[in-house]
Amino acid sequence: MDLVPAPSGETPVKVPVVEVEAVDVAEPVNAESVALEEASSVYETDSDDSDGWDAMSGDDTIQMLRDEQLRDGLVPGACTLEEAVTFRNRLHAIGKAAFVEETIVRETVTAKKLCTAFGIVPPAFLEGAPDESFHPLLAIAISREFSRRRKLPDYNTIDDAVRLLRESKNIIVLTGAGISTSLGIPDFRSKDTGLYSKLEHLGLSDPQEVFDIHVFREDPSIFFSIAKDILPTEKKYSPTHGFIKLLQDKGKLLTNYTQNIDNIEANAGVLPENIVQCHGSFASATCVKCEHKVSGDAIFGEIKAGNVPECSACRQIIEADALKPQGLKRKRSSNGCQKDRKEFEDSSDEEDYEIPNPGVMKPDITFFGEDLPDEFGRRLIHHDRELVDLVIVIGTSLKVAPVAEVPGILPRDIPQIYISRTPVSHTGFDIDLLGDCDVVVSELCRRAGWDLKHHMIPVDEKVDVTPVEGYESRHVFQVVGA
C-alpha cells in the first residue's frame, strides 16, 4: 500500500500496532460473498484493495501459494513459476485494466489458473463452478500484487550488495528480533524455539495476546510472567548490532528503525538520535495510574523475578494517606484517581473509604492496540524518505504493521537488501541474503574491506555463499564446517 505523500502534513503510519497476515500464509476468504460487479470495479481502478481482502471472511479457507510451490509444480493446473513471473511483470507494465482486458476478457487464460499466478490455490468449494466464480478472488489478488513494490532489476549479486554498502551515504536499517537471537534472546515466531511457541501454558487463545494492551490492563501478570525471558541480562550486543554501529561510525547510518524492545542498540553505541524505537523499549517505564516515570533499571529486579512491579510514587502517597486521621484521608477509586476531597469530608462512613493499590509500572513498549510513537511517522515521512539511498532490512519477517509497510512507503527506486534466515514473499526486495544475520553482515564487511571487530566473529571464519536455484538475487550464507 503506497501511503505517501501524506495529506496535509499528517502521518499516515500513526496507527495502532497490529499483527498482519502476509500472503505466504493461509487467510480466511469467503469468495461467494463478493459480487462480480464489485470485482469489475476493482479490475478497473488503480487503487489498492487490500482492505477488501481483509474484510472477506467465512468458514472456507483459501490457501496461499509460495513461489517455491509453483517452481516445484506442486499444484495441479497452476501456472509455472516462469508463467507467474511473466503475468506479474505484465500487470505492472500495463496496469490492471489493460491486463484484465488482455487475459480475462480475451480469454487467453482462465481466471482459475490466473489466480495461481498471484498466489492463490483454487479453493475446493469452487470446484466445478463457472470460471466467473473466481473473478472476486482474482480481482483482489491482482490489486494486492499491483500495490507491491517491485524488485529493481539492476541489483542481484553479492558484489552489487557490497557496492551499495560502499557507495551509499544515507542508509535506513530496519531491524527485528533476529538480530538478537545469537545473544540468547528468543525471537517470536521460530518454530519450537520462538517465544510464541512456548506460551501455551498461559491459556491464551492466541500467544500474541501476551502483548495485547487490553490483556495487560486486565491481568498484567501474564506479560510479566514472560518479560524476564526477553529482558537482556547483560550489557552485550551481537555482531549485527556492531554492524549498525559501524555504519554510524562511517557516517552512513541515516536511521535505525528497530522493532526490538531490548534496547541493545544502545549497548553497541548506536546514538539515540540515530534510533527510532518503533515499539518502544524496556529503557523506561511509566505507572498506568499516576504516570510516574522511571528508568528501566529501577524495575528490572522485579521483572527478572517474574513479579509485577508496582509504582513507588503511588505507594508513597498511600503510606502518607494512611498516617492521616480518617476524616482527612482522600478517597480513591480502584484505578487510583483522586476523588473530590470536599465530597468526602462531609461523610463519616468509614466503609466509604477504599484502600487503593499502587499502580503497575508498564515498560514503555508499544503493545498491540497502541499507537506507535509520533517520531516514527514524522521522521520516516518528513525526513528520511527524501534522503535515503539504501534500505537494509535485517532479522524480521515483517509481520507487524505499520512497521511492515515501511519498505513500501519509501521511494520504490531506492535499492533494498533483505537479510534473514528465511525469505519473505509479500514484498519485493532487490537482494535476499539468507542465513544467520551475524554471518551475513560479517561476510559483507570482509568483502567491503571493512573491519567489523567482535568477539563472536572468529578471526579465521570462512563463509560459503551459494545462489538459490531459480533466483538470481537470492543467496545463502553458511559458515564453512558449521
Can you say how many angstroms the Cα of residue 187 is from the centroid of all Cα atoms in its chain?
12
- Position 42 pLDDT exceeds 60: no
Return d(Cα 83, Cα 118) in angstroms, integer.
11
Average model confidence (pLDDT) for the chain?
A: 80
Query: pLDDT band at 188, cuts 50/70/90?
Result: low
Pick left, alpha or beta for residue 58 (phi over 0 → left; psi -120 to 50 → alpha; otherwise beta). left
Residues known to be catalytic:
279
Which residues in 398-451 belong to E strands, given as ranges? 400-401, 416-420, 431-434
Query: pLDDT band at 173, cuts 50/70/90?
Result: very high
- Position 460 pLDDT exceeds 80: yes
419-430 CB burial, b ≥16 within 10 A, e <16? bbbebbbbbbbb
Return d(Cα 133, Cα 174) in angstroms, integer.
41
Contact 358, 288 (CB under 8 A): no
Q: What pLDDT, on a 0 to 100 scale, did the predictor assign at position 86?
A: 94
- Position 417 pLDDT exceeds 60: yes
Could you please report the per-residue DSSP string of 366-409?
--BTSBPPHHHHHHIIIIIHHH--EEEEES----EETGGGHHHH
Tell which wins on pLDDT, 235 or 198.
235
Q: What pLDDT, on a 0 to 100 scale, did the predictor assign at position 444?
A: 98
Contact 390, 10 (CB under 8 A): no
Average pLDDT rounded to a whole number, residues 410-434? 92
Opening angle at CA 377, ends 253 and 373, nearest 5: 100
Tell which wins on pLDDT, 39 or 274.
274
Q: What pLDDT, on a 0 to 100 scale, did the predictor assign at position 462?
A: 95
**What are 117's three cell numbers?**
499466478
HSE (side-chain half, CA atoms, 13 Å) at 128: 1
2 three-class SS: coil
Return d(Cα 42, Cα 48) in angstroms, integer.
9
Contact 329, 347 (CB under 8 A): no
Closest of 14, 20, 6 to residue 366, by C-alpha: 14
Contact 173, 406 (CB under 8 A): no
Closest of 258, 199, 203, 206 to residue 227, by C-alpha: 199
Q: Tens of pLDDT along 359-405? A: 999 999 888 888 877 888 899 999 999 999 999 999 998 887 778 88
Q: Determine which helix (DSSP H) or strand (DSSP E) holds 277, and give its type and residue range.
A: strand 275-277
Average pLDDT rounded to a whole number, residues 136-164? 91
Query: Could you tell me what percent of the chain has a pLDDT over 70?
Result: 75
Return d(Cα 29, Cα 38) in angstroms, integer.
15
Contact 120, 98 (CB under 8 A): no
Provide the sign of the torsion angle of the four alpha carbons 144, 147, 153, 157, taken in this order. negative
Q: What pLDDT, on a 0 to 100 scale, did the predictor assign at position 455?
A: 94
Poorest-pLDDT segment among 194-208, 309-323, 365-379, 380-394: 194-208
Q: Tens of pLDDT along 230-286? A: 776 668 999 999 999 999 999 999 999 999 988 899 899 999 999 999 888 888 899
- Position 343 pLDDT exceeds 80: no
The binding site for Zn(2+) comprises 287, 290, 314, 337
- The rounded radius of gyration (Å) of the Cα atoms in the chain is 26
Burial class of residue 100, CB neighbours in 10 A (0-12, 13-18, 19+): buried
- Start-to-end Cα distance in the chain: 40
Query: pLDDT band at 326, cuts 50/70/90?
Result: low
Q: What pLDDT, on a 0 to 100 scale, did the predictor assign at position 246?
A: 98
- Position 429 pLDDT exceeds 90: yes
- pTM for the model: 0.71
Which residues in 39-84 belong to E strands, given as ranges? 61-62
Q: Tens of pLDDT along 98-141? A: 999 999 999 999 999 999 999 888 888 888 999 999 999 999 88
- Position 229 pLDDT exceeds 80: no
- Position 17 pLDDT exceeds 60: no
- Position 30 pLDDT exceeds 60: no
